[in-house]
Amino acid sequence: MRILTMLFLLVTAAASAEDRPNILWLTCEDNNVNWVGCYGNPHADTPNIDALAAEGFQYMHCYANAPVCAPSRSTWITGIHALSMGTHPMRSRYPIPHDRISYYPDLLKKVGYYVGNATKTDYNIGDRDDKDAWDTNKADWKVLKQQQPFFMVINNTKSHESKAFGDVNNTTHSPDDVRLAKYHPDIPDIRKNYAHYHDQMKKMDADIGLALEELERSGLAENTIVIHNSDHGGVIARSKRFLFNSGTHCPLIIRIPEKFKHLRPAEPGSKVNRLVSFIDMTKTWLKICGAETPDYLQGKTFLGPDEEERDYHVSFRGRMDERCDNVRAIRDQKFLYIRNYMPYAPWGQHLNYLWTMKATTAWEAHHRAGKTDAITGRFFGTKPMHELYDTSVDPDNVNNLVDDPKYADEVARLSKALDEWQVRNFDSGLLPESEIVKRSEDAGMTIYDLVRDPSLYDLKAYQLASAKALSLDAANLPGFYRDLSHADSGVRYWAIVGCFNLQKTTRLDTNFVRRSLSDESHHVRAMAAWILYRAGDKTAAQECWNDLLSNSSYASLKIFNIIDWIGDGTEPYVDAMKACKFSHGGYVDRMKQYLGIAKADVKKKREKTKK
Show Cβ contacts of residue 403 under 8 Å, excluding neighbours closer than 6 positions.
none
Strand 313-317 and strand 327-331: pairing? antiparallel
Alpha carbons 557 and 569: distance in angstroms, whole number: 16
Of the listed ranges 284-288, 389-393, 411-415, 602-606, the one predicted with least confidence: 602-606
475-484: average pLDDT: 98
Residue 185 belongs to what domain range? 22-310
> Would you say 73 and 80 are in contact if contact means Cβ atoms under 8 Å apart?
no
pLDDT at 16 over 90: no
pLDDT at 309 over 80: yes
Quickly list H helices, 536-569.
Answer: 538-550, 556-566
> Would you say 433 and 322 are in contact if contact means Cβ atoms under 8 Å apart?
no
Of the listed ranges 288-292, 562-566, 606-610, the one predicted with least confidence: 606-610
Domain assignment present for residue 562? The answer is no
Alpha carbons 250 and 484: distance in angstroms, whole number: 43
122-130: average pLDDT: 98
Mean pLDDT score of the chain: 95
Q: What is the CA radius of gyration of the chain?
A: 25
pLDDT at 204 over 50: yes
3-state SS assignment for residue 604: helix
Domain assignment present for residue 188? The answer is yes
Terminus-to-terminus CA distance in the chain, angstroms? 61
Looking at residue 285, its amino acid is W
Alpha-carbon dihedral sign for residues 366, 369, 374, 380: positive
Give helix 522-535 / helix 538-550 axis angle, nearest 10°.
150
pLDDT at 606 over 50: no
What is the structure's pLDDT at 233?
98
Alpha-carbon dihedral sign for residues 253, 259, 264, 269: positive
What is the structure's pLDDT at 41?
98
pLDDT per position as a tens digit, 256-281: 999 999 999 999 999 999 999 999 99
Domain assignment present for residue 418? The answer is no
pLDDT per position as a tens digit, 394-405: 999 999 999 999
Alpha carbons 146 and 135: distance in angstroms, whole number: 14
What does residue 542 show for φ and ψ, rounded to 5 degrees? Answer: -65, -40
pLDDT at 11 over 80: no
In 3D space, the residue among 442, 423, 419, 439 whose CA is nearest the CA of residue 431 turns out to be: 439
In 3D space, the residue among 429, 466, 425, 423 whose CA is nearest the CA of residue 447 turns out to be: 429
pLDDT at 603 over 80: no
pLDDT bracket for residue 170 (50, 70, 90): very high
557-565: average pLDDT: 98
pLDDT per position as a tens digit, 425-454: 999 999 999 999 999 999 999 999 999 999
569-598: average pLDDT: 96
pLDDT per position as a tens digit, 212-240: 999 999 999 999 999 999 999 999 999 99
3-state SS assignment for residue 354: helix
Alpha carbons 277 and 576: distance in angstroms, whole number: 44
pLDDT bracket for residue 1 (50, 70, 90): very low
Alpha carbons 439 and 455: distance in angstroms, whole number: 12
Residue 247 belongs to domain with CATH number? 3.40.720.10
In three-state form (DSSP H/G/I as H, E/B as E, the rest C), the secondary structure along 372-406 is CCCCCCHHHCCCCCEEEEECCCCCCCCCCCCCCHH
What is the structure's pLDDT at 115?
98
pLDDT per position as a tens digit, 458-478: 999 999 999 999 999 999 999
Show Cβ contacts of residue 407 under 8 Å, excluding neighbours closer than 6 positions.
335, 388, 390, 401
Strand pairing partners for 27?
155, 229
pLDDT per position as a tens digit, 19-36: 899 999 999 999 999 999
Alpha carbons 393 and 378: distance in angstroms, whole number: 19
Domain assignment present for residue 174? The answer is yes
Q: How many domains does the chain have?
A: 1
CB atoms within 10 A of CB 515: 13
Looking at residue 116, its amino acid is G
In 3D space, the residue among 530, 526, 510, 506 whose CA is nearest the CA of residue 518 turns out to be: 526
Domain assignment present for residue 127? The answer is yes
Domain assignment present for residue 267? The answer is yes
580-593: average pLDDT: 97
Alpha carbons 102 and 92: distance in angstroms, whole number: 19
140-160: average pLDDT: 98
Domain assignment present for residue 200? The answer is yes
Domain assignment present for residue 290? The answer is yes
Task: Name the helix (H) or strand (E) containing 232.
Answer: none
What is the structure's pLDDT at 19?
87
